[in-house]
Amino acid sequence: MKYVKPKKEELKKRLSPIQYRVTQEDDTEPPFQNEYWDNEKPGIYVDIVTGQPLFTSLDKFDAGCGWPSFTKPVDDDLITEKEDTSLNRVRTEVRSKLGDSHLGHVFEDGPEPTGLRYCINSAAVKFIPMEDLKKEGYGDYLKLFDKQHQIYNP
């Protein structure tokens, strides 16, 4: 699958106002009032702009912060990090590499094994349920869930 960032005009038509503000203008959606903060279904989260896979439900946890939180991305090479000094403090912003979408921030207060908490705006991602992965063109990611299933159900 080829992941390409659409032109600004197309993004304005395709994305909702909050999705556009979050991904293109570095905004943040309200906690506990977003689509995926409490989603517990198995699947993957892809960049709303390009469709590139970013996170899986296997690495999602309830951080109690009101946004979807993950211990790690699907692949470190799919995201970029940069210093964010807004709000008069230093944070690490997380962006999608190909789409250059603002996703959220990463903090060092997460659970093991990484100790990281990728705090991600729901408006920056689209959830693809495990049962739809093949149909939506993400069939290669099914193997991640097969491994997890075997670990817990030998």
Residue 119 bears catalytic tag = yes
The candidate with the shortest Cα–Cα distance to 22, out of 121, 88, 140, is: 121
Ramachandran bin of 125, using left for φ above 0, alpha for ψ from -120 to 50, beta for the remaining angles? beta
End-to-end CA distance of the chain: 32
Q: Which of 49, 94, 103, 119 is catalytic?
A: 119
Number of residues that make up the chain: 154
Could you give the residue numbers annotated as active site? Answer: 119
